[in-house]
A and B are shown apart, each in its own frame.
Chain A
């Protein structure tokens, strides 16, 4: 998997300029280690989207933001993906010896799961011969984090890709994503994330902050 270095640095909290040698070499090591450690897996289902519901499961998607995001879509892809539990193990091993290496590894893994989802989305798009919109996950806007539970159940993501949820809705393995992706003519194009729409005002990556 090609993991974009710029994204890794951004996740690490780098905000411009040429990174130091120590930082760059940590990133380099992390990229290799993530590729070695990750076992990327994804599972998805394509649902008909009518009246705010995933039709085949008769599941209403709560909140205004997801309705806005899926507006115009006739179908929705529900997807779950993970890099696997060895990422968690490696990260905790690194944390014992070097905080910088652990940070770089964590950031590289975050960039990797997004990259992997992009790859899978492209494949789904090709299979469906349709354009896909941007991913939208529980916790974005007013789509409750609790939605992860039904999403994982519908996809049987525990059984299919080893993705689990704890009582507090933490996904384990750490580097895992569930998301809804709109399919449809009006949803084409815009794959960029809009921070202004998000309610996480304290987010370290909020773009308006800059």
Chain B
């Protein structure tokens, strides 16, 4: 077994250079699947390896970069095994790397490939290449794919793993991941991490510096030989390239090689300057969390939004049970807008499959917010499911001081490199003294160390008890925070709102306790950020503790601000319009201000149903009729629909208090494999305005999910969209599954390539040629 780490102690390790560039130079032909040459022209492949070995590379990368099943097809395994064998035979004595690149697919939610599909693809590749000495995943650009690949290597191979991603001049990957997020999310699985491709060494320098600054693992750099000119020639000559190699070494890089445009000559020159001391020094990961695109270092006070939690919230419980993702989206977005830094995610309801729901919830949240997540569960299975697919570094909430909890949770924290909340509670229950809290915190810190989880990854929760019942405990909690902070490098967190349980005017108590806790050294507060007093308390603390230098942030946020009058219900930000009273006019013209107008009418006694039937629908019908006759165009129809949405929001509020039912439910989805959903989104808006309850399942929706939703909600009409001929076949499959599983349900279909005839052919009941036709169909099926 190759002991990469002890090799690195001896000095810098040198990889080989570009394979593709050499291949093109020698054969003058562009291959669709260059790895096929491992089977058809092994001598050509061997010759390139021999030249790199002769130039002095320590590591030879097999010709397996694109040989995954997705890219190379059925024979990928054969190509990989042959590639490793050729490398081994042509470069005796060298370290042979199984070289794996990206699949060329985009991960969910922007793409349609799941974590599991990536995992299986790389698993197969790793098993096929098991005769190699090490594995290198390189030129990766999607964090989900990179993590899936790295886990597939870790769980199916004993070989050391090198992972490198590729960044552009904006210091992000193509999917928007910054180098720091890569380090936080992938270093737990890798032995060496770093960068390759896309840029020349000069442009890579700042990216490499960022990685070196925080990486707990040795770092690799494989730059291109500069940025090619219009004829495809790479500008940086071997001598100059070798100069950069020395610069990288002096910064602390441990493994160096070449990417596109580098040649055996480049490697030869690097050999001459290398073979020197490895200057890398390791430090644990700093306290920070991240999503795939946003890194949040835990410096200063951080707000953790508490709203995605069903405990004591009927609507959230209902949303989790029925899978109503729109409700959850709204809670996530409003917390982000209110200033949350991190979102707590909890799916713990007794009668649901928490492990499945938490995973689904995390996946969904990744599509609607860039905020890093805190996974709130005591079920190790639920936590692992979520940690596995989460493309970032999450916080596990929580482990307690109970031995059983430590044994079950800490291995997950170690494996996935997450941060963890340590609850100061143990077998004896909630501690009553400061001392006991500190003692349990110390037990957690010690146990974590045994699992190689450093203090920097721990956040201690000293527990908020109810002041109404155990008044003296508030001070104990604050004192424990002080003591723990003075002794350890851990962060601290509190769920704040519990303090006021049972007391009147809870907001004042919560804000007061939060302020005191911050002054005691609290780093993170789990609160409802949509309550202004709570975020204001944090903002004020930042000014008074001089963290908000010159009160710049405070001034920027509050200049000219007057708090809303107490007790008033802020009903949307739209103000009344100069066309006061004429709601129909506003809708016909596609103007704003309809929410305030509708509020006015409702509060002056107009019934919600009257408002819909006498004002909203006639206005929408007028525009709809103009659209259908060609007098108005799609943008006007949509503008009116948007405008009516404001009024409808007000009506919905009034109806939910009066309990009046919606007209009927419609499930809408863009079918599996299709990611073009703008037409479907427009149809949803239009239908909602006519009073139908729309369950929007989103895009790339598998047939089974659509069937499940129809069954769960007792739905009579399903709208499906597909843009391309290639996805209409999935539409057809969906329809036939619906017919089988849910007899009686009607389907309507729309999309660019569909025609009336085509719709009939695939078994749909109705065809929607435009944005208004779905309303006619809904009226026919569900009634007006």
Contact = CB atoms under 8 A, between A and B. Distances in A.
A159 B638 contact: no
Contacts of B724: 139, 145, 168-170
A96 B675 contact: no
Given A13-B634, A127-B230, A203-B752, A165 B730 contact: no
Interface stretch (B98-106, B178-186, B494-502, B551-559): B98-106
The secondary-structure label for the interface of chain B is: loop
B642 A100 contact: yes
Interface in B194-218: 197
A167 interface: yes
Interface stretch (A66-74, A149-157, A178-186, A187-195): A149-157
A168 B727 contact: yes
Contacts of B630: 15
Contacts of B677: 92, 95
Interface stretch (B27-35, B378-386, B479-487): B27-35
A39 B198 CA distance: 15
A56 interface: yes
B635 A14 contact: yes
B589 A20 contact: yes
A137 interface: no
B333 A154 contact: no
Given A145-B726, A203-B752, A159 B166 contact: yes
Contacts of B642: 98-101
Nearest to A107: B635
A98 B4 CA distance: 54
A102 B679 CA distance: 10
8 tightest Cβ-Cβ pairs between the two chains A and B: A162-B174, A13-B634, A168-B673, A22-B590, A158-B104, A172-B106, A164-B106, A99-B685
A40 B40 CA distance: 38
27 contacts: A13-B634, A14-B634, A85-B175, A88-B110, A89-B110, A91-B678, A92-B367, A95-B677, A95-B681, A96-B333, A100-B638, A100-B642, A103-B678, A153-B33, A154-B30, A158-B102, A159-B101, A159-B141, A164-B111, A166-B675, A167-B112, A168-B673, A168-B674, A170-B673, A172-B112, A202-B752, A202-B755
Nearest to B231: A127
A102 B681 CA distance: 9
Contacts of B175: 85, 162
Contact of A12 (B634, B676, B681): B634
Contacts of A19: 635
B634 A103 contact: yes
A210 B395 CA distance: 58
A5 interface: no
Given A146-B726, A170-B676, A173-B110, 6 more contacts: A95-B681, A99-B685, A145-B724, A159-B141, A167-B673, A170-B727
Contacts of B30: 45, 56-57, 154
Nearest to B166: A159
Contacts of B675: 88, 166, 170, 172, 174
Contact of A23 (B106, B176, B636, B725): B636
Nearest to A123: B230
Name the interface size band of chain A. Answer: 35 or more
Contacts of A201: 755
A104 B633 contact: no
A23 B590 contact: yes
Contact of A166 (B113, B139, B633, B755): B113
A20 to B, nearest CB: 6
Among B141, B643, B681, B754, the most chain A Cβ lie within 10 Å of the Cβ of: B681
A47 to B, nearest CB: 8
Among A56, A59, A101, A102, the most chain B Cβ lie within 10 Å of the Cβ of: A102
Contacts of B753: 200, 202
Contact of B197 (A26, A86, A159): A159
A95 B106 CA distance: 21
A58 interface: yes
B693 to A, nearest CB: 17
B682 interface: yes
Contacts of B639: 20, 22-23, 26, 100
A106 B678 contact: yes
B590 A59 contact: no
B309 interface: no
Among B630, B639, B685, B726, the most chain A Cβ lie within 10 Å of the Cβ of: B639
Contacts of A161: 174
B730 A168 contact: yes
A103 B682 contact: yes
Interface string A59-96: 10000000000000000000000001110110110011
A106 B166 CA distance: 28
Interface string B354-386: 000000000000011000000000000000000
A60 B306 CA distance: 58
A100 B590 contact: yes
Contact of B170 (A9, A39, A174): A39
Among A14, A101, A170, the most chain B Cβ lie within 10 Å of the Cβ of: A170
